Chains A and B, each alone.
Chain A
């Protein structure tokens, strides 16, 4: 709830998105670009891809975070001004996908930086990406309930 209120307060205007690829196969990345092209047209919601992390409100991360990409990801995250949201796109970023525990892969973005929203799929459809971002912004209702696991209830999202 806290997050939702904060989103409603902090992100009232156009949101700029910084997309970072941490070793993904390109599948998610082309679907992200697809979202800004005519059929899906995310720009009608004021969403725009920004070239620099310093201009962005939201970080869209794809890829399983390889060892080589890790330092750059941390630096890019620090460069985004607060308050910021991190949305992970694709199975690789959500949990590492097929290569989640290989020697060169960290295995999921949430091992490295706090993540607020996950958009799973290999790759997720453009509609799914749009929907995920819309849920994050409070434009659309959530379709799944939070569930308790052995480790306790899933948090609504971490906030730094």
Chain B
């Protein structure tokens, strides 16, 4: 479907509900709809077109446009563009209809907007707290402009999260917040009947660090890439590239080709070590520690290689808007090739060992089923969707960096289960070796040293950009509305675990209790990404400058 088809379809069906449309950037369509027409518009996109829901973003625009705004983001994967539905909410009593009854995957986004901005959603099926801590007072909304970033409201324990009632005849099994097989804090409350899981409730967001308010008063476009990298310690470079792409897109900055290839190489190295890490952790979860030890042994040379290229094993600090900070010299290329070849050989051995292992297959096959329809409903991404035979990969659908110049396959499977996800990840890693090798060929051709574009003018305010980057866990989507003072007005990160995690109840219902950890593990959950709430708002004109005295008093305090 082309943009024109979509526009005429929406215009015809919505009538007066359709308020206008623009095309801010070539790969975007921006449609304003009236609040009363939004449910119908979403229904049309979700049911009658190939659109895929991404995320909803709330924004406090009372200073500039006298309104709260909610943006519903969709993508047309095969037509390579994004569409945004722009809905206005009243600045005093913000209230708009909920779209969760049409798309289940919008549940978290809407609850998040309610928690942080205080926009109420009518007819939301599950209006419980999602992000804020259990003792956070009601009606204090940290993302509103008037809220100071370092304010720490008093404790109100009566606000604590209310779990679902036990279904009759069931027992509660608590998994978390600190559960041995998960590295991170998360809480699954299982309702079980004997060994069978009947229902599950989830409470997460233990890693909500509230970075937005810090960015409010101190960070600029130049500094945010380093913070973006710290959203996640495993796929940090993905967030970093996503953010840089956003700004480059919004301000129309051209990146040198060599920088594109270097970014591609780093992204793929990250995918390789992340998939090796995942396979090990998955083995550990089902009690097969040999897999953990072997894959992590293989992964280590990749970490050393990353250190050699960038100076650090993780959080590379490599990327800036306009390019990268360090070149990969030609002298290093043969070493990278050798490491890739060695790892590829070992990885093929892993594939051989895993694919015929009866024990593994018995544990993983027909467990944690999520089919195509389920994926569409929950807007699932990455290996979870690809294991349900959905051909979806941001590297092909929305090409970025140098992915338009390299040749690789999108791996899919049709078994819908944990086994399918495992196979997809293992085979995908083999494609990554190919991509790295092709990018190295390109590096040998391109002139050394041309790695960053100097940006002389300011980033203009009021521009909009969306970027999608394929992280090891799935598609990572960033949304940006540029503002004044050299910082974003609104920056929203939707990491791949964010849509994948709410599918867990569907996957575990009817399964054995013992299978729950591997089912949760099979989406490769990354709670720190999910819970980051990486949003930067600009607090108009209010910039705090820290004096020497304050700084030294902190130093003393923290030493």
**From residue B295, how far is it (CB to closest CB) to chain A in Å?**
9
B105 at the A interface (CB under 8 A): no
Among B205, B233, B559, point to the contact of A28 (Cβ < 8 A).
B233
CA distance in complex: A159, B368 (Å):
47
Instruction: Tell which of A23, A97, A102 has the most Cβ of chain B within 10 Å.
Output: A102
Among A21, A22, A38, point to the contact of B293 (Cβ < 8 A).
A38
| Chain B residues near A63 (CB-CB < 8 A) | 207
Instruction: Tell which of A37, A68, A108 has the most Cβ of chain B within 10 Å.
Output: A68
> Assuming A21-B183, A23-B207, A76-B178, is B142 touching A103 (CB within 8 A)?
yes
CA distance in complex: A149, B558 (Å):
11
> Assuming A23-B185, A26-B528, A149-B559, is B315 touching A123 (CB within 8 A)?
yes
CA distance in complex: A123, B558 (Å):
18
Interface residues of A in 30-55 (CB under 8 A from B): 30-31, 33-34, 37-39, 51-52
Q: Count the A residues whose beta carbon is within 8 Å of the partner chain — how many?
A: 48
Among A26, A71, A103, point to the contact of B234 (Cβ < 8 A).
A26
> Assuming A51-B180, A66-B133, A97-B230, is B556 touching A104 (CB within 8 A)?
no
CA distance in complex: A35, B503 (Å):
32
CA distance in complex: A71, B206 (Å):
11
| Chain A residues near B152 (CB-CB < 8 A) | 103
Whether B184 contacts A21 by the Cβ 8 Å rule is yes
B interface, over-half SS: loop
Report the interface size class on chain B.
35 or more
A interface, over-half SS: loop
Q: Considering only CB atoms, which chain B residue lies closest to A18 in the complex?
A: B178
Among A38, A72, A103, A123, point to the contact of B150 (Cβ < 8 A).
A103
Among A24, A68, A150, point to the contact of B233 (Cβ < 8 A).
A24
**From residue B232, how far is it (CB to closest CB) to chain A in Å?**
6
Q: Considering only CB atoms, which chain A residue lies closest to B233 in the complex?
A: A27
> Assuming A25-B236, A37-B293, is B183 touching A104 (CB within 8 A)?
no
Whether A26 contacts B136 by the Cβ 8 Å rule is no
14 more contacts with CB within 8 A, not counting A68-B133, A68-B208, A149-B559, are A25-B207, A25-B236, A27-B230, A28-B233, A29-B183, A29-B233, A30-B183, A37-B292, A39-B300, A63-B207, A97-B230, A98-B211, A103-B142, A154-B559
Which residues of A come within 8 Å of B, CB atoms?
Answer: 19-31, 33-34, 37-39, 51-52, 63-64, 66-69, 71-72, 76, 95-105, 108, 122-123, 125, 149-151, 154
Which residues of B come within 8 Å of A, CB atoms?
Answer: 132-136, 142, 147, 149-153, 177-178, 180, 183-185, 205-211, 213-214, 227, 230-234, 236, 277, 280, 292-293, 296-297, 300, 303, 313-315, 526, 528, 531, 552, 556, 558-559
A-B pairs, top 3 by smallest CB distance, nearest first, are: A27-B233, A51-B180, A26-B233
